[in-house]
Chain A
Amino acid sequence: MKEVTFRIRQFDPNRDAEPHWETYRIDWAPGMTVLDGLWKVKELHAPGLAWRSSCRMGVCGSCGMLINGKPTLACNTQISELGTDVVAVAPLPNFNIIRDLVPDLFPMFRAHQALLPYVVREDLEEREEPTGEFWQSAHELEQYLQFSYCIKCGCCMAACPTYATDPLYSGPMPLAQAHRYNTDTRDGGFAARKEVLSGTAGPWRCHYAGECSRVCPKGVDPAKAIQLMKRELVLDFLHLRKKKCPAPVAAKPTEVRRRDGVPDAPAPTV
């Protein structure tokens, strides 16, 4: 049975002055992910080890960690793909460490919140009591769909060189999400988001190092979103940006008849 070594950066604020590396050896089986290894370490050697994880299948974004120097999801990383017998696991950089492998992600969430990551529209009644769908073509959907796959894991923020020094910079995730909503034709919040985007928290500190897109576990490509957003903002500054009205409600077809033999839908129960 093969063994692998886990070097884990541990820090208990109640007992330690500084984070420190601890080394553990566990048995390896084919198909083991780094997250599986962490559970083994916790079971056999370090019951007090702390980290965040949930879905164990790469969709919740909880287990972002620095694994052998690269920010990535622990559940998505096979130990065998690392190409070495030593797995070094540390908490995501650029975030405060709460304990062991648990980062404080609230600054990222606050920056995200400041950029209004939801559809902003003026027609409140339609949003409260919807009468129909908002009209959006497949082509319009394609313009922002890639960026909507973000699971807010924070790996991009850990990889960004600007976010490494500058906490006032929003970071790749909030900015990519701002672009996701700016490009969504159902949204009318460009002017509101511009308040934040035109200043220090905007995309102007991005210099296309591209690390965010390299490490993103879902292929969201935040670097691309940010550059596309810069184009929109520059055009807006030069008064060359086409103002688009938010997508209207799709009118229900009126001249239709149910085909013969097709039963009616059951009555609503709510």
Chain B
Amino acid sequence: MPENKGRPNRLGIWGWLGGGRWGAERYLYTLHRVTGLGVLFYFLLHIVVTSSRALGQASWESAMGKVTGPLFTIGEYLVFVALAFHAANGIRLVLIELGFGVGKPIEPVYPYRTSLNVQRPLAVLAMLLAAVLIVMGGLDFFVLGTH
């Protein structure tokens, strides 16, 4: 087989962000990655901050004192939103990537009805779930707030 020839033409990371005209599932994929990274970053810091409870009340309250304030409250709410989306979309992805909700192999007749059409109700449900969680969290954070 001949070796690779020609001028490189990979989209690179632009292929994650905009390789062409998108479908909804492409946006969901990108958002899932972004929210995952956001939650991971918060989580690694969270482990360190909450471990202060092992050293007693003074240590705990000092650590909590460092992370209070309106900026932190908004930041935490954004992490909550990210987690709510990631979890709801995650439920959808667990089902889909184990082959449930994608439909059976069919005879392709134009206009094609692909697995994307079959799983669309599941995607809508996942987004509704995320929306409900985000609203409930928003109520808790900012309105009824014990926060």
Contact = CB atoms under 8 A, between A and B. Distances in A.
Contact of A146 (B9, B21, B93, B106): B106
Interface stretch (A30-38, A217-225, A241-249): A217-225
Contacts of A147: 105
Interface of A: 11, 13, 19, 66, 68-71, 91-99, 103-104, 106-107, 109-110, 142-147, 149, 158-161, 163-165, 167, 206-211, 213-216, 218-221, 223-225, 227-228, 230-231, 234
Nearest to A210: B25
Interface of B: 1-2, 4-16, 19-23, 25-26, 29-30, 32-33, 93, 96-99, 102-110, 112, 114-116
Contacts of B102: 223-224, 227-228
B104 to A, nearest CB: 8
Contacts of A220: 108
Contacts of A144: 105
Contacts of B97: 206, 208, 227, 230
Given A94-B9, A216-B114, A228-B102, 19 more contacts: A91-B9, A93-B11, A94-B10, A94-B15, A96-B8, A97-B7, A104-B5, A106-B2, A145-B105, A161-B29, A161-B30, A163-B15, A165-B10, A165-B11, A211-B23, A213-B116, A220-B108, A227-B97, A231-B99
Given A96-B8, A146-B108, A224 B15 contact: no
Contacts of B25: 208-211
Contact of B4 (A19, A104, A208): A104
A208 B96 contact: yes
Contacts of B106: 142, 146
